[in-house]
């Protein structure tokens, strides 16, 4: 059995007092964290998820609400956990340089510490599938700020397939990437289409019939989205939601 724990489900700005993007995938052979926003440390602590459980952090793209929490995750693993098992950090091309630059800018350069555990960087590329820690991982490009190298992520966790949209606006190939997933975690920042780089409930309703997947859960909810009471029949995530697959 696998499990997905929604550690953070807000948009970039913490709308509704929620936390930014992070999803823990517990697979039979280990755990990976999909995205690690600046508020993810708070989320892991609030949900009682030990950092040590996480074998790999997978970054969908280089925006602060998706990878800004990595520098302090590393530091806490060293000073609070005395971690010894390796930590893999996987992400789009340039992941090592981006994480190093972010850590330096935030005051905790990676090279300034004597780490008690190996930090291993791994690039994931669209189209291929590779082993990342305890899971197999694929990626696909999305329609989002190009300079952030935006990708969606496909996780094969044991017999279960989990697809995560990352951040994206609508593009016609999206349903094909989600096809066959046991769980599709899909961003839905907006209520109505108004920005090319984020999805809206309006577009998902229009294209509902095109998704041929198991459970579809909306996340990355903006201020308007989280204040709705009717989501047109879609499942909507909240911080702390756990789905067993
Ligand atoms: Zn985002
Ligand atoms: Zn983004």
Q: How many angstroms separate the alpha carbon of residue 222 from the centre of ligand 1?
A: 10
Q: Please, which residues have CB within 8 angstroms of residue 176's CB and are 6 or more apart in sequence?
A: none
Q: How many angstroms separate the alpha carbon of residue 46 from the centre of ligand 1?
A: 21
For tokens 């090592």, what's the residue?
A: 96
- DSSP helix/strand/coil, 188: coil
Q: How many angstroms separate the alpha carbon of residue 26 from the centre of ligand 2?
A: 24
Q: How many angstroms separate the alpha carbon of residue 61 from the centre of ligand 2?
A: 7
- What does the pLDDT profile of the chain (245 residues) look like in tens digits? 899 999 999 999 999 999 999 999 999 999 999 999 999 999 999 999 999 999 999 999 999 999 999 999 999 999 999 999 999 999 999 999 999 999 999 999 999 999 999 999 999 999 989 999 999 999 999 999 999 999 999 999 999 999 999 999 999 999 999 999 999 999 999 999 999 999 999 999 999 999 999 999 999 999 999 999 999 999 999 999 999 99
Q: What is the pLDDT of residue 186?
A: 98
Q: How many angstroms separate the alpha carbon of residue 70 from the centre of ligand 2?
A: 16
Sign of CA dihedral 58, 62, 66, 69: positive
User: CA-to-CA distance for 33 and 154, rounded, in angstroms?
Assistant: 13
- Are the beta carbons of 130 and 136 closer than 8 angstroms? yes
Q: Is the pTM of this model over 0.95?
A: yes
The terminus-to-terminus CA distance of the chain in angstroms comes to 6
Q: What is the pLDDT of residue 128?
A: 86
User: CA-to-CA distance for 235 and 215, rounded, in angstroms?
Assistant: 8
Q: 218-227 as b/e, with b when 16 or more CB fall inside 10 Å?
A: bbbbbebbbe
Q: How many angstroms separate the alpha carbon of residue 10 from the centre of ligand 1?
A: 8
Q: What is the pLDDT of residue 25?
A: 98
Q: How many angstroms separate the alpha carbon of residue 183 from the centre of ligand 2?
A: 21
DSSP string, 58-84: E-SSS-HHHHTTHHHHHHHHHHTT---
Q: How many angstroms separate the alpha carbon of residue 167 from the centre of ligand 2?
A: 5
């Amino acid at each position: 059995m696998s499990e997905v724990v929604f550690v953070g489900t807000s948009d970039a700005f913490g709308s509704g007092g929620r936390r930014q993007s992070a999803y823990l995938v517990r697979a039979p052979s280990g755990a990976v964290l999909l995205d690690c926003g600046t508020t993810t440390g708070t989320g892991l602590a609030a949900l009682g998820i030990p950092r040590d459980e996480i074998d790999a952090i997978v970054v969908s793209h280089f925006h602060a609400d998706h990878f800004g929490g990595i520098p302090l995750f590393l530091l806490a693993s060293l000073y609070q956990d005395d971690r010894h098992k390796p930590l893999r950090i996987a992400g789009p091309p340039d992941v090592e340089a981006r994480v190093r630059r972010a850590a330096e800018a935030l005051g905790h350069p990676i090279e300034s510490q004597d780490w008690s555990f190996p930090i291993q960087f791994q690039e994931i590329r669209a189209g291929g599938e590779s082993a990342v820690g305890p899971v197999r991982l694929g990626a696909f490009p999305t329609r989002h700020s190009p300079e952030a190298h935006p990708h969606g992520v496909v996780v094969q966790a044991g017999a279960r397939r989990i697809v995560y949209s990352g951040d994206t606006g609508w593009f016609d190939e999206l349903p094909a990437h989600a096809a066959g997933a046991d769980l599709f975690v899909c961003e839905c920042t907006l209520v109505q289409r108004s920005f090319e780089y984020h999805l809206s409930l309006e577009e998902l309703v229009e294209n509902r019939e095109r998704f041929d997947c198991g459970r579809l859960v909306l996340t990355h909810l903006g201020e308007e989205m989280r204040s709705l009471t009717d989501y047109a029949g879609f499942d909507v995530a909240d911080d702390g939601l756990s789905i067993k697959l």
